[in-house]
Each structure stands twice: as C-alpha cells, then as structure tokens.
Amino acid sequence: MQHFEKVVRGKLVLKDRLVDGEIGITNEKIASIATDGEKLQGDAVLDFGKAYVFPGFIDEHVHCFSNPEEGFVPTSAAAAVGGVTTFFDMPYDRPHPINSVDLFKDKVKRMEGQTYVDICLWGTIAKQNGTDQILPLAEAGAVAFKMSTFETDPFRFPRIPDPEILKAMKLVKKSGLVAAFHSENDDIIFSMIDDYKKADKVYPRAHMETRPPVTETSAVLKLLEFAFWTGVHLHIVHVSHPRTIELIKQFQKQGVKVTCETCYPYLLLDVHDLEKFGPKSKMNPPVRYPEDVKRMWDHLEKGDIDFISSDHSPWGLEQKDIGNDNIFKAASGLPGVEIIAPLMFDSGVASGRLTPVEFAHLMSTHPAEIFNVPNKGLIAEGYDADFAVIDPEQVTEIDKDKLHSKIKLTPFHGKKCRGKVISTIVRGTVVYNGDELIGQKGYGKFVAGAAAKSSVTQ
C-alpha cells in the first residue's frame, strides 16, 4: 500500500461536492484522495473530524506596502491565521509603485525569508509612457496588471489617462494576463468633494454622498467598452454596487471577457456603519445603502460575482485620522486578510446562504482560475497541498488587539463569527494550528504568474 508523508482527514470540500475523505500528501502536493472509506497510510495523520477541509483561501487583493510599516511579515502572518494560503500583493507600494521590471525583481528578492504563506505579485504602469514595461513585467512573473481610473495619489496610485489605458489593454491582452481596474470617475468625485468641503459638509456620511453609484458605474462602463474593442480580459476589483454587476452581465452577453470581485465590507457594512464607525469604515468605493447590500448578496448567491477579496489596507490610527471630525482627511481602506474567512463563513455558510462548495469557489477556486495560478485553488491530485480547515462548531471572536497586522483597527471588533479556522496548511506544512502561528517566516514562496518566462515558483 502506498505510504504518504502526511494524511489529512475531514469533510473535504472538492470542486463539485462535499465528502468525508482523506488526502495523502507527498512532496508538498496532493498525491491521492480517498473518498470511499479507504484509510490512507501516512507518517503523520491530521484528523479534523467533522471540520471542513477547504482548498487554501486565496486573497487576490492585499496591500502590504501602501503603509511601509506593514510589509510581508505581519501581512503574511495575518493571512496564515485567517486560512489564506496565497495572497496577491498589490503594486501601489510606498515610496515607489511596482511599475518596472527592476522594481518588480527587487520586490521578489525582498520577499525572501519574509513570508509565512505563498505570494503572487501584481504589476502596474506609470501614469505616462509606462506601457513598455507591461510585457517585460509579465515575463518577470507579474500575476496580472492593476490600474486605476481614479487618482488616489499622482505618483504612487495614479489615474491612468484613457489613451494609456487603451495601449495598456492591448499589451496586457498580448501577455495573456488580466487587466484589473479600480473603477471610479475621478472628475465627478473630486468636484463633489470640493463642493462638500466648501460647504463644510465633512461628516462621515459625506464620504458616501460624494461617491454616488454613478461614479462607479460610469467608470466601469467605459472600461467595458474599451475591453470590447481590445479583447483584453478585464477584471473589476472591489465592486460595491449591484448596478455594476448588471452592466458587467450585459457586456458578458456580448462576448466581452470580464470578471469581477467584491470585498467583504460591501457584503457586511452599509452607510449606517459609516455613520457609526467613521474612518474605520471608510474605503473606496464607499459602503452603500442596506438595500444595495441585499442586492449584492442576491448576485453573490446567483453566481454573478466571481469571488470575494479583502482589499486589505493596513492604515493606522494616524493615517485614519481617528478623533478628527473631517472624514475627507482619513485614509481609505480597512485591514481584512485575517478576518475575511471567518466573517464570510459566518454570513455565507453558517447562515445557509452559501454551500461549502460555493464558498470554496468564491474564496479559492475562482481567483486561481481567473488569474491562472498554477496548482492552486482546488483539492485535486497534483495540486499544492494548501488547505484552510474550518470547524463550524467553534466560534471566532474578532479582537482588534489580537490581529497579526500591526494595525489594530476594524469595525468588526467584538463580533462573534460562527466557524473558526483551526488549521492552515501551506504545501503540506501546518503554518497555523488554531491557537498559534507555527510556520517559519521564510517558508512562503513567490509564485510567478502564468506569462513568466520560467513558470516554476522560486
């Protein structure tokens, strides 16, 4: 009988079914799956009983370095504790965004010895004359390209002008990778913020009022039309409003290759939370009305949203300007890579709105498929032995002070979620055991994108 290095037992969440079974692991890979009552033999057996063994969660929207006080170590620790076995780090680093091959290679080098989980890296382009870096970045291993129609920062996170977007889309299409966009209409938003400031309307809700849904939907509409003419695979990040999903569906019917994600706050928070928590619930696009949140859930349940990400943005108390009464002075974004899985398991699976199989698709399989990440996103033979194990009988109480991110701030502080991550396994190695982070800081690897010249991980 075949003997494995490790055997994992539990309720396996496979691509199309949930089944009691066993996984045999050898050389960091899933070597065998037994679902017919057969007992596999292993040097070590991890028996999770009635807990769900999911494919390791993939959070494709994380910002490690927009706040340089954060970085790979705390973010990857937070990921490990949250069941996230791979994350994609965004390119909007401070001081310099990752918009050239040299900066990209330097970031890969800086990752060495610094991560508990596996990481893919996004690339981006400079505001002007930056598109010549697209094909070299793809060859260097960028997982995809992120751009913005909104100027968060003129250098670090710029609004890319339309002619550059069109050029970029043609080149990204050539690379075979995905062009992803932060989609908000810059002109309308800045003009409204100006008017609000002049009228001294700087209360928390003003953040939502100055970014009405049309600012998201009109930006997305333009990109959809650009994607129609260039044939690029367009991906819309952090969709906040159901109307955006409805536009995407219209263009999908016309053959446009477009996918989308939402982030956990758009499913769990609304404008009342913005009023209550102020800067702690401030993100771009903003949270919406309760009826919009309900329609986001309807779309999620129907399968219209491809996956859920965290948009982990670790701004501290200082950047969040806590204690100041001017919402426009606070940085946008919330930390989330550590809490997305318990929050979404609670609101999705434990509440009966999503099956465990659907949850696995939204949290792992779809991002792996859409971005063509090799050997990740499924429990299947030959795939990496990456698992997130959740015990539905246990509870996760979110405590801001226990978060592994350096940023101790979340509007979900004190929330009790049904379900707890009791083990996180990265390529066959347990990095989190439900109580403690037990992985090694340098164990996590850089995972190169699908267009890399040498597609092996390094």
- Tell me the CA distances in angstroms from 352 to 15, 185, 199, 265, 382, one per residue in order: 19, 36, 46, 19, 31
Query: Applying CB under 5 A, which part among 42-50, 285-293, 305-313, 351-359 lies near Zn ion?
Result: 305-313
The CB-of-268 to Zn ion minimum distance in angstroms stands at 17
Question: At 329, is the secondary structure helix, strand, or coil?
Answer: helix
Number of CB atoms found within 10 A of residue 414's CB: 10
Pick 147 or 274: Cβ nearer Zn ion: 147
Of 279-287, 311-319, 408-416, 425-433: span binding Zn ion (CB under 5 A): 311-319
Angstrom distance (rounded) from CA 358 to CA 408: 31
- Candidates 311, 338, 346, 386: give the one binding Zn ion (CB under 5 A): 311
Judged by CB under 5 A, the stretch of 42-50, 80-88, 304-312, 398-406 that binds Zn ion is 304-312
Which residue of the chain is nearest Zn ion when measured via CB? 311
Q: Which is nearer to Zn ion, 262 or 396 (CB)?
A: 262
Q: Where does this chain touch Zn ion (CB under 5 A) — which range of 159-167, 193-201, 214-222, 308-316?
A: 308-316
Q: How far is the CB of 371 from Zn ion (least distance, A)?
A: 15
93 binds Zn ion (CB under 5 A): no
CB of 315 to Zn ion, least distance (A): 12
| CA distance linking residue 370 with residue 235, whole number of Å | 9
Tell me, what amino acid is at 36?
A: D
Give least dist CB 147 to Zn ion, A.
12
- Round to whole Å and give the CA distance between 342 and 163: 42
Size of the site for Zn ion (CB under 5 A): 1
Nearer to Zn ion, 122 or 226 (CB): 122
Binding part of the chain for Zn ion, among 69-77, 189-197, 254-262, 310-318 by CB under 5 A, reads 310-318
Note the maximum CA span of the chain.
77
Tell me the closest approach of the beta carbon of residue 63 to Zn ion, in angstroms.
Answer: 6
Residue closer to Zn ion (CB basis): 9 or 238 = 238
Tokens standing for 31? 């070597």
Only segment of 6-14, 167-175, 306-314, 401-409 that touches Zn ion (CB under 5 A): 306-314
- For the bound state, the minimum distance from the C-beta of residue 74 to Zn ion, rounded and expressed in Å, comes to 17
Q: H-helix or E-strand containing 58?
A: strand 57-62
Instruction: Tell me the two tokens of residue 107.
Output: 């970031």
Three-state secondary structure of 252-270:
HHCCCCEEEEEEHHHHHCC
For 121, list phi and psi in degrees, rounded to 5.
-120, 130
The answer to whether residues 323 and 301 touch, using CB atoms and an 8 Å cutoff, is no
Look at strands 258-263 and 307-309 and give their pairing.
Answer: parallel
List the interface residues with Zn ion, window 54-83 (CB under 5 A): none
Task: Between 54 and 315, name the residue whose CB sits nearer to Zn ion.
Answer: 315
Nearer to Zn ion, 89 or 346 (CB): 89
- Phi first, then psi, for residue 364 (nearest 5°) are -150, -60
The least CB distance from residue 146 to Zn ion, in Å, is: 8
Q: Which stretch binds Zn ion (CB under 5 A): 146-154, 277-285, 307-315, 369-377?
A: 307-315
Q: Which is nearer to Zn ion, 25 or 147 (CB)?
A: 147
Give least dist CB 255 to Zn ion, A. Answer: 28
Cβ of residue 121: shortest distance to Zn ion, in angstroms? 14
Cβ closest to Zn ion, residue 24 vs residue 158: 158
Contacts with Zn ion, 19-58, as mask; x by CB under 5 A: ----------------------------------------
In sequence order, the β-bridge partners of residue 119 are 87, 446
Q: How far is the CB of 122 from Zn ion (least distance, A)?
A: 10
Beta bridge partners of 46: 8
Residue (70 or 311) nearer to Zn ion, CB? 311
- Residue 60's nearest CA partner among 283, 262, 266, 234 is 262
Backbone angles phi, psi at 179, to 5 degrees: -100, 115
- Cα separation, 70 vs 252, in Å, equals 38
**Residue number, 311 or 338, with CB nearest to Zn ion:** 311
Task: Give the CA angle between residues 97, 98, 99 to the nearest 5°.
Answer: 95
Residue 223 amino acid letter:
L
Six-digit token string for 154: 């003129």
**CB-count exposure of residue 68 (10 Å: 0-12, 13-18, 19+):** exposed
Least distance (Å) between residue 22 CB and Zn ion? 38
How near is the Cβ of 86 to Zn ion at its closest, in Å? 17
* For Zn ion, the closer CB: 238 or 445: 238
Please choose, from the candidates 435, 359, 353, 421, the residue with its C-alpha nearest in 3D space to the C-alpha of residue 392. 421
* d(C-alpha 395, C-alpha 378), whole Å: 25
Q: Which residues bind Zn ion (CB under 5 A)?
A: 311
